[in-house]
Amino acid sequence: MRLRLALALAVPLLAAGCAGKTAGTAAPAPAAAATPAPAPAPTGTTTALHANHPIPEQDPDFVRSGKPKPSLVDNLRCFTCHANYDDEPLVLFHAGGGVSCENCHGESKKHTNDEDNVTPPDIMYPREKIAAACWKCHPSVKPPPGFKPAVAEDANKVCTDCHFRHRLPQRQRVWDKATGKLLSEPPENPMTGTEP
């Protein structure tokens, strides 16, 4: 309850901060990110995974020569409840490329309008469908036909195992991602007898 109240108070403030975008003025540029440390050289297990997996700067899916960089997308409607995602690397990376939550999860109007939080997003991805979903926009990293991982444990890896985990650290609701059926309710708070 306190979280909902805090979010209800924060949203108008955030919206006021975004008003410059709708009024035709530019929003302040995001702070420059620190230069990431170079990735370690592939060894053993990772060599097989990266054989057909270019680094982003060399990936034709990411190269946008001659095109202006897309502006950050507005995920504010999602961040009202999913506040922990506003600084998640996967979200920031995609938002910087003009890709919003809706691009992967659908418009999800019923989900965002559900105050009881029992309606799932329009699109969710069971583990076995994650890679195929990523390949829709990133086809150059799809393994070639007949590809077999060098090590057995790599056979079940999906993109988000290594690239930007995209999971809630503490789930309040759990849905079957294939059917959208609600599997569990949030735990009751033993101190108040209410939801956290």
pLDDT of residue 133: 92
CA dihedral 93, 6, 107, 101 (to 10 degrees): 10
pLDDT of residue 14: 40
Query: What's this model's pTM, rounded to 2 decimal places?
Result: 0.53
Closest CA to 97 of 67, 125, 124: 67
Q: Which residues pair with 175 in a beta bridge?
A: 182
Q: Where are the beta strands (DSSP E) in 13-86?
A: none
- Tens of pLDDT, residue by residue over 163-179, are 877 765 555 677 787 88
- Token pair 């901060």 is found at 17
Please report, rounded to a whole number, the percentage of residues in the chain having pLDDT higher than 90. Answer: 3
Residues with Cβ within 8 Å of residue 63, at least 6 apart in sequence: 57
Taking 80 as the threshold, does the pLDDT of residue 149 lie above it?
A: no
Locate the domains of the chain by residue range.
Answer: 54-196
Long-range contacts (CB closer than 8 Å, 24 or more residues apart) made by 151-154: 151/44, 151/45, 151/48, 153/45, 154/45, 154/48, 154/49
